[in-house]
Amino acid sequence: MNILKMTAAFGLAIMASGSMALAADLPKASTLVSKMGFGFNIGNTLEVPANQGGPTGWGNPMPSQAYVDSIKAAGFSTVRLPTAWYSHAVGGKVSKGWIDTVQTVVDMCIKDGLYVVLNSHWDTGWLEDKVFATDSATVIKNQKAIWGHLASRFKDYDEHLIFASANEPGVNDPWNGGAQQAFDAKRMQILQRYHQVMIDEVRKSGGNNATRTVVFQMPRTEIDMYELLSQYYPKDPAGDGYTMAEAHFYPYQFSLMKADENWGKMFYFWEDVTTGDASRTCANGALGSKQSIETQFGKLKTAFVSKGIPVIIGEMGAQKRLTLEGQDLEKHLLARAAWYGYVAKIAKADGIVPIIWDTGAEDNLNMTVIRRQKNVDYTILDYEVLNAMRQEYGMSSLSGNSISALVEASSSTVNKSSIAIFKSPSSASANTPLRINTNIKDWSQYETATVRIYSDMSAADGWAKASFVTMSGSKWDWVEEPMTVSNGAWSSVNVPLSSITTISEVNAVVIFINAKGMTGKLAVDYILLNKKGGGADTLESFKSTVFECSPDDGVVVPDELGNIETDKVATATSIGATGGKTVNYVFKANSYTDNYTYNETITPASNNTIAAPAIAQSIHLSVEHGAINATFNAATAGHTTVSLMNSLGQVIASKNVNATCGANSVSLETSYQGAAFLVIRQGSQKMVKTVRLK
């Protein structure tokens, strides 16, 4: 080789970028594992499809250098960047602006010495949901075009940048009854072809891509399907040693299960970190127990690591069940931390890189370790999980406690649920709806809903049925899913959303009760929408402003949990000692032609209550000439703040008003364009409505 040419090439590479290197053989994948340590997913951000709002569409801010610095400071050595490409591309050509955006995040990570696993994520399922022969030609065409484009842009980056072919191919395969469609050898050969097209494009692009580490995913990234990937492993033009395999690890009952089933219960605790409730403890070989972790990771070590193919656990985690209280909550949070620590321990011993899933959310069922939503200060949210993993990698614990405040808050929580009271006559059945107009219309990113619900309905001879009803699309198509509600206790009921007719336009939700010969009450605390990629959004969380009504004046009933059907807001009065009086309770909803009623005899010296939000949970908006006009109902008069906020949580416009009981109107002027939120606050309560300003 000409020495002068070599020298010139070396000088150009140094001048180009600190993250770039000579077009030479990069280190083999097995030499990277010890340097990659344990990793962190910047989840629910770059992978948000373009038609769902892009990086900030699911509630997170764009990654900043300060955020990346906090990941490094926490002890992580690897960042996985789940990324959407297909929805940002036309004909497989990804827009320059979008590649520039992603490259900026990659550069911030590499600046901190972090290894970056850059993948192609779900992104409307263009590859992930189409591992079928009928779709393969189109997928192959797009896979080739996208990776050819990306490979050209990143070909000069050094070994700190790793490419991952896909995410969880086949994970959303259709279910038939209780079984998911089989992923057999024929389908694995289709997936093998997807991987092969990707690595061929990367290798032929030249530069450092000739030997860059590339990651291949097993079907659904389920460890139990490791043999299919092992048997049909793509052929690397660079030879052996420059690829990795990927699995994910979410042991269902411990990590993701949201409601008990007849075949098993949710696991709150783990091994010896337990209250002693064996039915709630992941142990004795159950999936996610010590024995299970050792066995599952051992399979990966034998099939791949021992053959020079390192493995990454591209996603792993267990949700925080923050609806638990007191000792149960404390033990649960400690159990989660112990589990994370043991996964890290066995992964490290077996030559596997564990990468935690983190979405930034802080609500129930989150897996977040570093704050970036409620407090954009990038502080540690979960010290216990982080320190458990740090310990296994020889790092000292960081000073901090994340559990005490949560446990203290749970122990002193007063029930703040919206309560609907039901009673049906013994001779006939009665229906009662509790309706919510949704401010989240597009449910395509969600797979289930969780309803936190309480019932103490009873009768000597009677029955009650509960359903979760959605009304969607222009025709308000009615889809009803049955709910099994425990009696005499709070329960979290998990409801599938796969049957919704128009998943992108859900107009309203109804908790629907059909009962006969029953007395008692049913209370709904909150409703969550659970995302396909983990985490959840709150559809509704109810507050307990109580309306106390005189039997003489009837009962004030909110039709949509807030819209008052009558102007009679009665004050509480005592009933004389002479006897009881009969009260008719009328439940009304805009989409029903009937009013559902029951009656109850009030005993002397007692009053009935029905709970509802102080502010209605619906806002009606009109936008014209730079002004937003909003109407809302207030159940009580008082000081009210109306604010318009952008997707970063910044206040664009705000106005204070003295709301009257009943209908109110307010107007805000703004020149802002894009997605925004109108927030109306009265006291400690609020309601939110999304709006897009053009």
Q: Is the pLDDT of residue 466 over 70?
A: yes
258: left (phi over 0), alpha (psi -120 to 50) or beta: alpha
Helix-helix angle 326-349:404-411, to 10 degrees: 150
Using the structure block, give the residue that is written with the tokens 């109110």.
Answer: 664
pLDDT computed for residue 121 by the predictor:
97
Closest among 537, 576, 568, 316 to 446, alpha carbons compared: 537
Q: Choose between 6 and 514: higher pLDDT.
A: 514
pLDDT computed for residue 627 by the predictor:
75
Is residue 450 within 8 Å of 536, Cβ to Cβ? yes
Closest among 454, 521, 466 to 492, alpha carbons compared: 454
The model's pLDDT over 624-661, given as tens digits with 9 standing for 90+, comes to: 656 787 877 776 677 787 887 765 555 677 787 877 76
Q: How confident is the model at residue 481 (pLDDT cuts 50, 70, 90)?
A: very high
HEC secondary structure over 275-343: CCCHHHEECCCCCCCHHHHHHHHHHHHHHCHHHCCCEEEEEECCCCCCCCCHHHHHHHHHHHHHHHHHH
pLDDT computed for residue 76 by the predictor:
98
Q: DSSP letter string over 588-609? A: --TT-SS-EEEEEEEPTT--EE
User: Among this protein's residues, is 315 annotated catalytic?
Assistant: yes
Q: Choose between 395 and 421: higher pLDDT.
A: 395
Q: Choose between 55 and 484: higher pLDDT.
A: 55
What is the set of domains in the chain, with CATH numbers? 22-409 (3.20.20.80), 418-612 (2.60.120.260), 620-693 (2.60.40.2550)
pLDDT computed for residue 662 by the predictor:
67
Closest among 89, 155, 91, 92 to 118, alpha carbons compared: 155
The model's pLDDT over 272-286, given as tens digits with 9 standing for 90+, comes to: 999 988 999 999 999
Helix then strand then coil, in percent of the chain rounded to 5, is 25, 30, 40
Which of 47, 159, 201, 315 is catalytic? The answer is 315
Using the structure block, give the residue that is written with the tokens 């299960």.
Answer: 257
pLDDT computed for residue 429 by the predictor:
54
Which of 128, 168, 246, 271 is catalytic? The answer is 168
Using the structure block, give the residue that is written with the tokens 């003489």.
Answer: 552
pLDDT computed for residue 176 by the predictor:
79
The model's pLDDT over 206-220, given as tens digits with 9 standing for 90+, comes to: 999 999 999 999 999
Is residue 169 within 8 Å of 219, Cβ to Cβ? yes
Q: Choose between 471 and 574: higher pLDDT.
A: 471
Tell me the C-alpha distance between 511 and 501, whole Å. Answer: 18
Amino acid at site 654: S
Closest among 219, 45, 37 to 112, alpha carbons compared: 37
CB-based contacts of 377: which residues, under 8 Å, 6+ apart? 371
pLDDT computed for residue 17 by the predictor:
40
Whole-number percent of the chain with pLDDT over 90: 53
Is residue 324 within 8 Å of 335, Cβ to Cβ? no
Residue 479's φ and ψ, nearest 5 degrees, are -125, 125
SS3 category, 670: coil
pLDDT computed for residue 674 by the predictor:
66
pLDDT computed for residue 555 by the predictor:
33
pLDDT computed for residue 12 by the predictor:
32
Q: Is the pLDDT of residue 378 over 50?
A: yes
pLDDT (mean) for 223-234: 97
Q: How confident is the model at residue 623 (pLDDT cuts 50, 70, 90)?
A: low
Let me know if 29 is exposed, middle or buried by CB neighbors in 10 A (0-12, 13-18, 19+).
buried
In degrees, rounded to 5, the angle at the alpha carbon of residue 402 between the alpha carbons of residues 400 and 403 is 130
Amino acid at site 98: W
Count the Cβ atoms, other than its own, within 10 Å of residue 656: 11
User: Among this protein's residues, is 246 annotated catalytic?
Assistant: no
The model's pLDDT over 432-449, given as tens digits with 9 standing for 90+, comes to: 556 677 778 899 999 999
Closest among 207, 214, 119 to 156, alpha carbons compared: 207
Amino acid at site 409: A
The model's pLDDT over 558-614, given as tens digits with 9 standing for 90+, comes to: 333 333 333 222 222 222 223 333 333 333 222 222 222 223 333 322 333 333 334
Q: How confident is the model at residue 509 (pLDDT cuts 50, 70, 90)?
A: confident
Closest among 614, 622, 509, 630 to 564, alpha carbons compared: 614
CB-based contacts of 90: which residues, under 8 Å, 6+ apart? none
Q: Is the pLDDT of residue 468 over 80?
A: yes
pLDDT computed for residue 263 by the predictor:
85
pLDDT computed for residue 332 by the predictor:
97
CA-to-CA separations, 342 to 78, 268, 310, 334, in angstroms, rounded: 19, 16, 19, 12
SS3 category, 68: helix
CB-based contacts of 225: which residues, under 8 Å, 6+ apart? 183, 218, 219
Let me know if 9 is exposed, middle or buried by CB neighbors in 10 A (0-12, 13-18, 19+).
middle
Q: Which two tokens stand for residue 283?
A: 């142990």
pLDDT (mean) for 446-474: 80
Q: Which two tokens stand for residue 162?
A: 């790793």
Q: DSSP letter string over 531-577? A: ETTS-EEEEEE---EEEEE-GGG----BTTSS-BS-S--PPP-PPPT
Max intra-chain CA distance, the chain: 111
Torsion sign, CA atoms 384, 388, 391, 393: negative
The radius of gyration of the chain from alpha carbons, rounded to an integer in Å, stands at 28
The model's pLDDT over 236-277, given as tens digits with 9 standing for 90+, comes to: 999 999 999 999 999 999 999 988 888 899 999 999 999 988
Closest among 175, 240, 217, 182 to 80, alpha carbons compared: 217
Is residue 657 within 8 Å of 681, Cβ to Cβ? no
Tell me the C-alpha distance between 542 and 534, whole Å. Answer: 23
Q: How confident is the model at residue 520 (pLDDT cuts 50, 70, 90)?
A: low
Tell me the C-alpha distance between 540 and 451, whole Å. Answer: 10
pLDDT (mean) for 37-66: 95
Using the structure block, give the residue that is written with the tokens 């033990």.
Answer: 331
